[in-house]
Amino acid sequence: MTDLYAVVGNPIGHSKSPVIHNSFAEQTGEDLFYKAILAPLDGFDTEVKRFMAHGGQGLNVTVPFKENAYRLADELTPRARRARAVNTLKRLENGRLLADNTDGAGLVRDLTVNNGVAIKGKRVLLLGAGGAVRGVLQPLLEQQPAEIVIANRTISKAQDLASDFSDLGQLSGQGFADLEGVFDIIINGTSASLAGELPPLPEGLLNAKTVCYDMMYSTQTTVFNAWATRQGALKTIDGLGMLVEQAAEAFTLWRGVRPDTTRVMLELRGERRR
């Protein structure tokens, strides 16, 4: 019998997850079908329970339900517990829900494996202090950067987030205007660039050796990556690879087999060029 999986969010029509996971299934020979579910903003728990009651085996969770999923879960992986946000749910044999957060692992793998960017010993700037940044902090810190600076419009949010993870490495929280010095890696964890906006960043944050990464992706170059190119960054990377790699982490948790992400990324890049 074909196993059922889905991604749940609001909005959800733009999601690439069905294409990605159905491609993974075809590639690995796993017997599953994956679809998208639009959940009412006040109906996440009901949708999840209905899906699982009708034979669903697992869910990906996207905006704005990652904290809802954290509260709904019966069991949490260590990285989900630390992030306090969840993007993957797995139905266990006893019917309980196991929750994970694969976003950070996807980001780190895309940076280090797909793009050859070493994080160890590097000075890293993270823009934003919301759920997207919280979800990637532990995996980034496990790579042993020299320092991570979190910058946000509301300085107290950046400082609180830095305090929450300070036991894992060298962290600080600042306002954008307070940033000083050159960073080796700058990661945009805000959604501003998709709205055609850019955080108010001071000059001099990067040089010709800096790698800039936008966790967002679109058919066109994001505003953040366009800014980084103008500033002379060594390399700019969008979030499509992170999307595929975090999906592969979820697929591995569900099915016990890791798919080839390179092939799927090339397919999606080709789709985006058409």
Give me the active site residues, please.
66
| Residue 94 to residue 272: CA distance in whole angstroms | 41
Side-chain half-sphere of 178: how many Cα atoms within 13 Å? 14
Encode burial over 140-178: b for 16+ CB neighbours within 10 A, e otherwise: bbbbebebbbbbbbebebbbebbeebeeebebebbebee
Q: Exposed (0-12), middle (13-18) or buried (19+): which is 227, by Cβ within 10 Å?
A: buried
| Residue 195 to residue 104: CA distance in whole angstroms | 23
- Per DSSP, the three-state class of 5 is strand
Phi, psi of 223 (to 5 degrees): -60, -40
| Residue 43 to residue 175: CA distance in whole angstroms | 36
